[in-house]
Structure 1
Amino acid sequence: MNFSILFIFITAFIVKGEKKDGYCHQYCYSFDYVRSQTSFFSTKTPYFTMRRKEIGKQFQVANCDPVKIWLYIRHGARLPKAKEMDRLSQLENLRTEIIANYKKSNSTIAFGAMCEADLDLLREWQWNWNITKEYDEHLTTQGWNDIKLIAARYRQFLPNIFEDNYNKQKYLFRYTDVQRTEASFKAFVEGLFGSNAHQYINVPPQSENVKLLKPYKFCASNEEKITGNQSEYRKYLRSNIMTQLAIDVSERLGFGCPLKITQILDVYDMCIYEHAWNPKATSAWCSAFTPSQIHELEYIEELRKYYESGYGIKTNERLVCSLVNDMLNHIGNNDEPKAVVYVTHSSSLLLLLTALKAFSDADSLRASNYYSMSTRKWRLSNIAPLAANFAAVKYNCPNDIEQEKVRFFLNEDLIEFDWCDKGLCNWSDVKKEYDDYIQASCDEYYCSSSNTRESQSGYMFSIALLILAFISCLFVSFSV
């Protein structure tokens, strides 16, 4: 038997009669009308679940006019990947088992039992068989509507930049070569210029802009450090926190023996997908978890993304050299277009934030420090929800000594760097802060043999040693 599974079984037996206080009460999802946990679904958090702090005031600067914008937008809510569809559709079988569990026990689960209203949600749940593999990762209606509304908000907040009609000299749009970003682009321009606006906007092939839209495609990633057996991600999946969660969720669902962690993650995925598709509705599978368990599950993707696209690997910031220069070049000149809009993915957005040194914590995210990182800045639910958007806005301030200013925004909220005056940055300070990118030859700085995500020189050195050892063995063999 796999050791980790054996460990869960043993732990389940030991703690059967000793539950933490947090799990001794019955949580009823159906009667929780606040459901604060739905704002913490990591990168699948709906954009408008997190209420915007202000309505446009953050874009207003006294005695200054916004004149240009550079926007980097993540696509909206999508359907699962084809391989996910296979797994999630099998939850119908798990649902049947759960209902049977409660019939056998006559709803006398010892700790944390589901309320009858939550069980009713499960009884009524069915997989939507219209979601088929041909719609792999396609944008949903909710995703379209969110992106369209975000565009309308930018137009409302920045009327000097986003005018009534499209003009190809004033606006530049790009998106990646997949349906969800193309559809998000169409929704965005519809929000700016009206229905079917995309029909008269010519966008060149994505291949011309890969380094700007998918910068992570050009460097070999350190998969061992991101998701390998000794990665923080894997360590957390094996941690006491996740072991206890597996025990508690399984018991809540009526199982005497813990479910596999993969099954629990499928339940979690179905919960957050359904909430993303319709944030105002209830999801039967969200009833499987208490609010605190959602926060524990949230940390899984935080760890993976921290090392894949964040501060966990130092050289991640180099991957967006061309992208940072593109932003600086656009903001730094007075030429058209007035607006550059790129539609891309969460990994690209997070790499950009990392390069700009935004949302960095004093301590790194690790499997062992979940509790001490409860107030972390690197919280994907806040910084990279569905339809997340980063904006650099240039202002002309004629009454100031330095007239060119910049404000940076994430999800319409002002980013306040400590080297700026209350979020309003002098253009000269922006150039100074990101001078490494300005001075770099991106083709060399970007992904050289010694500077891939986590320097691969150590890996290559290990290979060289193995080759030398093999040659030495051959030499000794032939000598004998």
Structure 2
Amino acid sequence: MYIFQPFIAGCLVFTLTTVVFVNGHSVDGYCHEYCYSLDHIRPQTDYFSSKTSYFVSKRQYVGKHFIIPNCSPVKIWLYIRHGARLPKAKEMKHLRQLEKLRDEILANHEKNNSTLAFSEMCRPDLKLLKEWNWDRNITEKYDEFLTEQGWNDIKTIAKRYKQLFPNIFEDTYDEEKFSFRYTDVHRTEASYRAFVEGLFGLDAHEYIHVPPHQENIKLLKPYKFCPTDEEEITGKDSEYRKYLKSKTISQLVMDVSKRLGFECPLKMRQVLSMYDMCVYEQAWNLSDSSPWCAAFTPSQFYDLEYPEDLRKYYESGHGREANSRFLCALVNDLLAHLGNDDQPKAVAYVTHSSSLLLLLTSLGVFNDSEPLRADSYHRLSDRKWRLSKIAPFASNFAAVKYDCPNDIESEKVKFFINEEPIDFEWCDAGLCDWSAVKERYKKYTEVNCDEYFCSGTSKSSVFSIFLITLATLAAISLLFNK
């Protein structure tokens, strides 16, 4: 399978002393002397929302959280988001136009004709920008393809889980002991291949059984068959749009424009494209520097992180009650696996950020006491619903079943997000009695998920559409196989 390897032109490595930006003079909330190329810490790279790299330099190895004294892990259920990917085809159009903007920024500084209220970009950042070009190999043909870094991240995660649970992830694949699924797009299929290669070696996918895609879609993406109120999520009256029109973002656009030497403010789309290029390139090449990150000061990334948190809050999070219903069948799958003493020992599904967030919503975690809104940004600076932390590239959810023979209730479960334990208030330091887990989520086991997962619609008609779709796909498959 082809894995895309992007190239950042002109990404040089500087070894000069780090500039400690916190000692800079703060003007309108940011430090005007900040130089991205010379900052070897770059705390803002931890806050690139859903495009944050899983292995940012600050991430610690946290395997100790999986070790429970006097308990043995016996089963695991994994839900994994694909690794770092290329932009969507529609995004590429905007990102290509950054070459023109690059020339305008360089001209502003070379002519020294700007009316900057703050210092200009530093020379190392300008040098990076001058040498930057859009990678001509990135075309619509590779819409959202997995990158080489994305492949390596997923493979590394698989190796970590194998090292943590050697009694579950044995060296040799056994169809009875392992179950894998992925959705029907390149980035998830490639991530699945990387994951099983990390577990069982080169080309492991060639001999591993995976159910047909139609079954995987029904389990992993049932929400695709439910009507979605896009107006509520990204429409003109949505919290997402309100925030993009807020004073916070208006001031950011003005400040960035001045920093880059423009007398008149840039368009919102141009600022967002610079941000997108920054976070993509840093996810593709962890050790390199994207010159577009230098367009912003560290604090501005927190302002730019919030829009996607807002959008996903209403699309896949606690912003809509219906979101907790969409993955009813998947929660049942999780509970059935943990509650069954038979094989398989390990289940691993490779999916998308929306699916992962819907699962977390179904389990009732990362729910803030105050709803996310455009006007609650500053009050929620320490919010739980933060995609940078819970849904970066290659994010993963794990439910591990333990046998604890010395306890009154020997069956225990511990839940993890990105290898960090989820601390439920109804559990003991994250370790939950299996009976409490079943009681907590019985609302999913006591209903017919086919009728429950689409809320606020004609449920029977929606599921009928789903069945008709599957029947049509099956008929087409038979036709071409004749």
Question: In structure 2, what is the equivalent of residue 110 of structure 1?
Answer: 117
Match of 1:93 among 95, 100, 109: 100
Match of 2:427 among 420, 431, 440: 420
Question: In structure 2, what is the equivalent of residue 441 of structure 1?
Answer: 448
Cα distance between partner residues in 1 of 2:354 and 2:216? 16
Does the 8 Å CA contact 1:419/1:425 hold for their aligned counterparts? yes
Question: In structure 2, what is the equivalent of residue 31 of structure 1?
Answer: 38
1:220 aligns with 2:227: yes
Cα distance between partner residues in 2 of 1:422 and 1:167? 34
1:195 aligns with 2:189: no
1:210 aligns with 2:210: no
**TM superposition score normalised by structure 2:** 0.88
Q: What SS does the aligned partner of 1:271 have?
A: helix
1:363 aligns with 2:377: no
Q: What SS does the aligned partner of 2:306 have?
A: helix
Q: Using a 3 Å threshold, how does the CA distance of structure 1 residues 451 and 362 change in structure 2: closer, same or farther?
A: farther
1:146 aligns with 2:153: yes
Shift of 1:212: 2.1
Shift of 1:204: 2.4
Question: In structure 2, what is the equivalent of residue 392 of structure 1?
Answer: 399
Cα distance between partner residues in 2 of 1:407 and 1:324? 15
Identity between Structure 1 and Structure 2 (%): 65
Does the 8 Å CA contact 1:63/1:399 hold for their aligned counterparts? yes
Shift of 1:129: 0.4
Shift of 1:448: 4.5
CA root-mean-square deviation:
1.5
Could you tell me which runs of 5 or more consecutive residues in structure 1 were left unpaired when the two chains were aligned: 1-18, 453-480
Does the 8 Å CA contact 1:215/1:348 hold for their aligned counterparts? no
Question: In structure 1, what is the equivalent of residue 66 of structure 2?
Answer: 59
- Aligned letter for 2:166? P
Q: What SS does the aligned partner of 1:295 have?
A: helix
Question: In structure 2, what is the equivalent of residue 247 of structure 1?
Answer: 254
Q: Using a 3 Å threshold, how does the CA distance of structure 1 residues 451 and 332 change in structure 2: closer, same or farther?
A: farther
1:366-405 Cα offsets, whole Å, 9 max, x none, are 1001111000011100000000000001111122221111
Q: What SS does the aligned partner of 2:80 have?
A: strand
Cα distance between partner residues in 1 of 2:86 and 2:73? 36
Shift of 1:202: 2.1
Does the 8 Å CA contact 1:190/1:198 hold for their aligned counterparts? yes
- Greater helix share, structure number: 1
Cα distance between partner residues in 2 of 1:421 and 1:104? 64
1:284 aligns with 2:266: no
Aligned residue runs from structure 1 range 17-416, under 5 A? 20-23=27-30, 25-49=32-56, 51-105=58-112, 109-416=116-423
More deviation in 109-118 or 257-266?
A: 109-118
Cα distance between partner residues in 2 of 1:264 and 1:386? 22
Cα distance between partner residues in 1 of 2:44 and 2:435? 42
Does the 8 Å CA contact 2:227/2:457 hold for their aligned counterparts? no
Does the 8 Å CA contact 1:23/1:111 hold for their aligned counterparts? no
Cα distance between partner residues in 1 of 2:236 and 2:140? 30
Shift of 1:350: 0.1
**TM superposition score normalised by structure 1:** 0.88
Shift of 1:332: 0.6
Cα distance between partner residues in 2 of 1:249 and 1:365? 25
Does the 8 Å CA contact 1:27/1:112 hold for their aligned counterparts? no
1:59-100 Cα offsets, whole Å, 9 max, x none, are 111111101111000000001111211211111011001111
Does the 8 Å CA contact 1:70/1:330 hold for their aligned counterparts? yes
Q: What SS does the aligned partner of 1:405 have?
A: strand
